[in-house]
Amino acid sequence: MHGLLASDSFRRAFLKGLGANASEVAYEQQIEATLDELADHLERSLDLPALLAAAQPPCLKPAA
């Protein structure tokens, strides 16, 4: 069901078939803008190099 109404043309036709008025919201455009804003916020707010370093697997030293 996820994304079923994501297609602007499908959503408009589906809602019209139900007798409802469909908005002119461009879903894809709105989602992309929201994700860009979120990425910008995270980039400003988080120490990304530290997070990436913490996500690296520990170095394994060979047994002596």
Question: Considering the chain, what percentage of its residues have pLDDT values greater than 70?
Answer: 89
Look at the block and give the residue holding tokens 């602007």. Answer: 8
Q: In the numeric block, which tokens belong to residue 37? A: 């804003």
Look at residue 61 and tell me if it is in a domain: no
Quote the pTM value. Answer: 0.47
Distance between CA atoms of 5 and 23, rounded to whole angstroms?
Answer: 12
The band of 64, judged by pLDDT with boundaries at 50, 70 and 90, is: low
* Residue 61 scores a pLDDT above 70: no
pLDDT at 1: 63
pLDDT of residue 49: 85
Report how many domains make up the chain.
1
**CB under 8 A, 24+ apart: contacts of 6-15:** 6/31
> Is 59 contained in some domain?
no
In a domain, 22, yes or no: yes
User: Is 35 inside a domain boundary?
Assistant: yes
Domain with 19 in it: 8-54
* Mean pLDDT confidence for 19-28: 80
- The verdict on residue 2 lying in a domain is no
